[in-house]
Amino acid sequence: MIKGNKDHAALADIFNQDEARVDWHDETLWFVRAKRDKAANTLSEWEALRENASQIKDNVLSNLHDYLSEFESNAQQNGVIVHWAADAAEHNQIVLSILKSKEISRMVKSKSMLTEECHLNEYLHQNGVEVIDTDLGERIVQLAEEPPSHIVLPCIHKKKEEIGELFHEHLGTPKGASDPQLLTAAARVHLREKFLTRRAAITGVNFAIAETGEFVVCTNEGNADMGAHLSEVHIACMGIEKIIPKRANLSVFLRLLARSATGQPITTYSSHFRTPRKGQEMHLILVDNGRTQQLGRADFRNSLKCIRCGACMNTCPVYRRSGGHSYHTAIAGPIGAILAPNLNMKQYADLPFASTLCGSCTNVCPVKINIHEQLYKWRQVIVKEGYADPKKTIAMKAMEFTLSHPYIYRNAGKSGRWVMKNMPFLVNNKLNAWYTQRDMPAPPQQSFREWYKKNNNE
Ligand code: SF4
């Protein structure tokens, strides 16, 4: 979700105002990251699994057209109605037209980052359709009228006391109640009524198997199954990159997904949908929305291997201390910062700069996406295309000039050291972004060049 004209740094500043929340957010996500490490370390074949997954996805990306065609024809033979959407607008229109054809104006939806990417909820709402998110985290952010801040843990930025307040206001739980068990029980009662009374359900898709035309949805709450099984119309929405060739490939991804996401051996529910049950209509929408464009960008194409585990977010020191909303796009964190500029380079030009390029994201990625290298690559493309922050461009030009003129470089260094020593207030002030969070280092007595000259008798 776009938040005005604010960029990542400005939105991170807002998140950083509540220091206690930042510390807690940081620690909570690091806890999940540590669980991921423990789970990965229990498998001696972990690296082989990652390599295997990466190669399967390489094959998919090189033969995407063939696998999609195979998947479509098998799904149609299974009785599924297959739709194709070139972009978010077409996807949303297809969903609405299915609902309209059945005169349905209230529905349930399980977690699907694709529908977040397409802003489906807002679109349906504007067209008179009520959508209830049934994933507990998604329902919480929906009640708070906020977008999810994490792809696996949508309300990780909220404390249980805040959730208690929301539930008190919307679900009538006692004021001040923040016991997770009590709140979960209240949510269960609230959602059960929705499952039983809504005629249509939307689910996402984690993996679509070309060989069989079936698709697999992974959840920990079973809410996708509840929605899909109780509804007359099941609409599944998937990005075209979710294809895998064979059922035999699935085990590789299922073993990697939950371990990378939350440190669990497997998600609680891995549900296979193949044919609609008697009397039910099953629709599947295959969405491009910029994916083929990304496929055509050689440096960024393998970002399409992403299985949306969220591990890169949990480990990212920037994400953990800036919060998911600072990325102002549906998919936050390091992978979101690669995917978003593909959709709109100008609007998301800030995101590839929201990284330390430490490489931790690349190290944890279960499908071996070279995330930090792609972020670095995006920076070069963005600067070249003229979308970089003008302040940064001017600063870089000044730096280029200084570094290419040794005399100016020497004098600039000397002046800088003198200012830091004699007039520290000129650098230790709030106009200096570096000083906001850190102390400025003490200026050295001499430059390296001076030291070298002295110690090497030049
Ligand atoms: S880029 Fe890799 S680590 Fe990040 S969400 Fe995707 S699969 Fe997971």
Can you tell me which atom of ligand 1 is nearest the CA of 313?
4
Tell me the mean pLDDT in the region 133-160.
95
Q: Which residue minimizes the CA distance to atom 7 of ligand 1?
A: 306
Can you tell me which atom of ligand 1 is nearest the CA of 364?
3
Q: Which long-range contacts (CB under 8 A, 24 or more apart) does 7-13 make?
A: 7/328, 7/350, 7/389, 8/322, 8/326, 8/327, 8/328, 8/350, 8/351, 8/353, 8/354, 9/350, 9/354, 11/322, 11/323, 11/325, 11/326, 11/327, 11/328, 12/321, 12/322, 12/323, 12/326, 12/354
The CA 304 to ligand 1 mean position distance, Å, reads: 10
Torsion sign over Cα 346, 364, 225, 275: positive
Can you tell me which atom of ligand 1 is nearest the CA of 309?
8
Residue 175 and residue 414: Cα distance in Å, rounded?
62
Tell me the mean pLDDT in the region 229-236.
97
Pairing of strands 281-287, 233-239: parallel
4 falls in which pLDDT band (50, 70, 90)? low
Tell me the mean pLDDT in the region 280-307.
97
E strand or H helix at 296:
none
CB 116 within 8 A of CB 148: yes
CB 272 within 8 A of CB 147: no
The CA 102 to ligand 1 mean position distance, Å, reads: 37
Asked whether residue 215 carries a pLDDT value surpassing 90, the answer given is: yes
* 77-123 pLDDT tens trace: 999 999 999 999 999 999 999 999 999 999 999 999 999 999 999 99
Tell me the mean pLDDT in the region 145-168.
94
φ and ψ of 45, to 5 deg: -95, 15
The CA 359 to ligand 1 mean position distance, Å, reads: 13
Kindly report the CA angle at 113 between 21 and 92, in degrees rounded to 5? 130
Which residues line the pocket of ligand 1, CB cutoff 6 A?
260, 306-312, 335, 364-367, 369, 371
Kindly report the CA angle at 310 between 205 and 389, in degrees rounded to 5? 110
Asked whether residue 2 carries a pLDDT value surpassing 60, the answer given is: no
Q: Which residue minimizes the CA distance to atom 2 of ligand 1?
A: 365
Asked whether residue 457 carries a pLDDT value surpassing 80, the answer given is: no
Asked whether residue 5 carries a pLDDT value surpassing 80, the answer given is: no
CB 16 within 8 A of CB 323: no
* 169-186 pLDDT tens trace: 999 999 999 999 999 999
The CA 362 to ligand 1 mean position distance, Å, reads: 8
Residue 136: CB atoms within 10 A of its CB come to: 19
Asked whether residue 1 carries a pLDDT value surpassing 50, the answer given is: no
Mean of the per-residue pLDDT values for the chain? 95
E strand or H helix at 201:
strand 200-203
CB 228 within 8 A of CB 203: yes
Q: What local confidence, expressed as pLDDT, does residue 94 receive?
A: 98
CB 159 within 8 A of CB 22: no
Tell me the mean pLDDT in the region 287-296.
97
Can you tell me which atom of ligand 1 is nearest the CA of 151?
5
Q: Which residue minimizes the CA distance to atom 8 of ligand 1?
A: 309
The CA 364 to ligand 1 mean position distance, Å, reads: 8
CB 78 within 8 A of CB 275: yes
Q: List the helix and strand counts (H, then E) for the chain.
A: 22, 10
